[in-house]
Amino acid sequence: MILIIIITVIIAVLIVFFSFFFYSRRNKRKIKEAMRHESAGRYHEALAIYDYLLNLGYSPAETRWKIANTAYHANIIQRAEKELTVLIETKDLPENVSMFAVKSLMVECYLKLGKIKEAFVELVSLFKLAPDNPLLLFELAKIYAGQRKTNRAIELFEKCHRHNPKDHEVLYYLARAYLDYGDAEKALEYMENTARLKYFDRGKVNYYLGILYYSKKRYNEALSNFTQVLKLKLNDNRILAEAHHLIAHCYKEKGLIDEAITNFEKSQTYSELIPGDAQGKTTLYNEGVLLYKSGHYKKALEKFYKLKMIDYKYKDVDQLIRIIGTRMKSGEELSQNVANYISENPLFNILKRGILYSNVRFNIDAIEKEAEKYAGSIVPKARSFSYNTVNKLNEMTSRDFKDLSRKLVHSIGYHIKSEPRFYGDTEYIDGDAINFYAVPLKNLKEKDEILMTIRRYKDEVPELAVGRFIDWIEEKGIKQGVFITSALFSPQAIKVIHMNPNVKFIDKNGFAKMLGRI
């Protein structure tokens, strides 16, 4: 009897052991399958498997973190927010993932969902822990700018700029913040620097430059920039209407009346496509005045009557109509002192509406004080290893560095076709570089591969490394290249970079943004 009991217990133990063994192996296969889907950009398939594993209770913290990242990349932001909330509230985090990384991703979710106030609260807390983190500085500055705290925004944008003087996005925000502040000199300086770095924001950089030059009566430069806006053929009727309107004013200042009238008419054409556009009324008025002053009385009356249909009390239109009618009957010459142009100052219009002002307003001062009280509640793991900081790259083994690089390529939407090695690539030999031929995950049949390289340096990236990469691209007939590095580029390397617009160069700041999402 005792022997039977012993055998029964042994059999039961063996059944439990083998069940657990096969269950564990199956789940590991599942997690690898989900990761393959995620790496290939098949986020919904990956999410389905992660959900299955989470329901089974398989490694909940790690699975929730994977679900949050996958959902974020799939643009299912509410789901990402839900899983991150659980991680934050339970403080049960995966190995090698800090609370700082979790909250950083939560901030990105809040921003995508338009929850500016919630994002601000988290950013204030994170900022207390990492006051020199350029990503936090930049996002905080944008929120301050949106809440009309332009002084504070400029202070943080300037700090970002000192950290990386060649970051075109920071320069662009600085220029617009100075425009909101009313400092045209500084705005022009930073906007010109933005243009030199070939960052144009779909023509808006040219548009703002045109306004700044116009305010300084540099009409030829203003015309050049406004014309560039038109050349881009933007699908934005408001920008096109305003560009033609300001081109007309430039021509008017240069005494080219016919050209001015033509552009006022074009501006009006675009304005009519915009419901309730106030700029259209201004354009009609100015065009009418130009026609009036150049002796085209009937055409001027047409414009003024059309304007009355839109706004019958607009400015001195009634007076102008009466004067034109009287003068046409009597044959008297029109006085040039009547109906002066509306005194337009494009900079004043910007100051009035604010370029960076947000429609979402909240009591930022009160919320900032409240958030600072709880800043100490986020305690990062002491000395914990995290993939989410570029500064750790040089401490990794070559194998870990290359594994991380492969994940990075997938995370930015590319499929690795091969990992080439080039003659004379000393960083590759030393384990500090890896190269990829890659195609977009959305189009795996794409024939034109791009050449990517990810390299780590303790000092600035030398000119030689940049030139060598460009040589490889030319030798292989590659149309596009991406050079990603853990350091800043040396001044000599930057000169070479500016001569090669077909290659994208990403320094440690851009690298940090990418790593934060892995």
Cα(28)–Cα(43) distance, rounded to whole angstroms?
18
Class of domain 390-515: alpha beta
- pLDDT for residue 306: 67
Return the number of other C-beta atoms located less than 10 Å from residue 296's C-beta: 16
- pLDDT for residue 319: 72
Cα(430)–Cα(476) distance, rounded to whole angstroms?
23
Q: Residue 145's closest CA among 120, 112, 110?
A: 120
- pLDDT for residue 268: 78
- pLDDT for residue 277: 54
User: What are the angstrom distances between the C-alpha of 246 and each of 259, 267, 281?
Assistant: 12, 9, 14
Taking the domains of the chain in order of start, what are their residue ranges? 2-95, 390-515
Dump pLDDT digits (tens) for 185-213.
999 999 999 988 888 787 889 989 998 99
- pLDDT for residue 402: 87
Dump pLDDT digits (tens) for 332-385.
544 443 334 444 566 666 666 778 988 888 888 888 887 776 655 444 443 333
> Structure tokens of 235?
């699908």
Q: Which residue ranges in the chain fall short of pLDDT 50?
A: 14, 16-23, 333-343, 377-388
Cα(82)–Cα(504) distance, rounded to whole angstroms?
35
- Domain 2-95: assigned CATH number: 1.25.40
- pLDDT for residue 386: 41
Q: How far is CA 73 from the centre of its chain?
A: 16
Dump pLDDT digits (tens) for 170-189.
999 999 999 888 888 999 99
Angle at alpha carbon of residue 23, lines to 20 and 24, rounded to 5°: 85
What is the 8-class DSSP label of residue 489?
A: B
Is the whole model's pTM more than 0.85, yes or no? Answer: no
